[in-house]
């Protein structure tokens, strides 16, 4: 969890600017969905980590929206509850076997998760099972992600690959992959160094 958390807690001025742009891009994608429609949504962030992205998303959503989060690691769930408040629902769940009914979630967030997955195909199939309308997916954009890591003298032995990243997508390959899995691409944002896509299920 250390690498993920440090991105939010020890980013510096440039890192904070990039993160702000990242969440502005997510907000732009959210605005593609009718605000009155979102008001009645059930929203879930899968792979919420320590809850830092969850907190930013919560501020973007209309007040009163049914919003919860989940993560696979018990440590992350505990940290997220601490960061979000005990009243916020965070559950321990496996992305390949979410404890949700079919078509029960209107909007799913999957941010910086797919690059860590052994089987993104199976994960997306599970999101299609529980998802009803939309998914917002964000991944590091390659090769720029690795290049920027190397420019800041990080992870040279792995050619700039962040530890734990076992899947790698350019914008083009990500869109091709999502379409091949039956998702309809609604809109794309490319804040440096990520690709973020709003898809319809």
pLDDT by residue (tens digit) across 38-80? Answer: 999 999 999 999 999 999 999 999 998 999 999 999 999 999 9
Note the pTM of the prediction, 2 decimals.
0.92
User: Tokens standing for 53?
Assistant: 């992205």
Cis peptide before 143 (omega within 30 of 0): yes
**Spatial distance between the Cα atoms of 4 and 20, rounded to a whole number of angstroms:** 16
User: Tokens standing for 107?
Assistant: 């909007």
- E strand or H helix that includes residue 77: helix 74-84
Match 């379409």 to its residue by tokens.
Answer: 179
- The domain 2-200: what is its CATH number? 3.40.50.150
* Contacts of 85 by beta carbon, 8 Å cutoff, 6+ apart: none
Least confident of 34-38, 101-105, 178-182: 34-38
Across-strand partners of 97? Answer: 94
pLDDT value for 1: 43
- CA torsion sign for 147, 188, 62, 74 is negative
Most trustworthy range by pLDDT among 12-16, 33-37, 68-72, 150-154 = 68-72
Across-strand partners of 44? Answer: 68, 108
**Spatial distance between the Cα atoms of 110 and 143, rounded to a whole number of angstroms:** 21
What is the residue extent of each domain of the chain? 2-200
pLDDT value for 11: 57
- E strand or H helix that includes residue 146: helix 144-151
pLDDT value for 92: 98
Q: What three-state secondary structure class fits 107?
A: strand
Q: How far is CA 87 from CA 110, 121, 135, in A?
A: 22, 33, 25
| Strand 131-140 relative to strand 194-200, pairing | antiparallel
pLDDT value for 6: 52
């Amino acid at each position: 969890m250390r690498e993920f958390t440090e991105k939010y807690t020890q980013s510096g001025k440039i890192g904070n600017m990039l993160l702000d742009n990242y969440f502005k891009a997510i907000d732009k994608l959210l605005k593609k969905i009718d605000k009155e429609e979102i008001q009645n949504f059930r929203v879930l962030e899968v792979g919420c980590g320590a809850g830092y992205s969850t907190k930013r998303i919560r501020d973007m959503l209309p007040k009163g929206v049914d919003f919860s989060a989940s993560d696979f690691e018990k440590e992350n769930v505990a940290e997220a509850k601490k960061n979000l408040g005990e009243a916020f629902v965070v559950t321990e769940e496996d992305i390949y076997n979410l404890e949700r009914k079919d078509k029960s979630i209107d909007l799913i967030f999957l941010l910086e998760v797919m690059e860590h997955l052994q089987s993104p195909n199976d994960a997306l199939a599970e999101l299609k099972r529980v998802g009803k309308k939309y998914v917002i997916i964000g991944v590091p954009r390659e090769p720029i992600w690795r290049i920027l890591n190397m420019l800041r003298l990080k992870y040279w032995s792995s050619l700039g690959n962040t530890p734990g990243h076992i899947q790698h997508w350019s914008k083009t390959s990500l869109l091709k992959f999502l379409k091949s899995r039956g998702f309809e691409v609604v809109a794309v944002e490319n804040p440096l160094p990520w690709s973020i896509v709003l898809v319809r299920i």
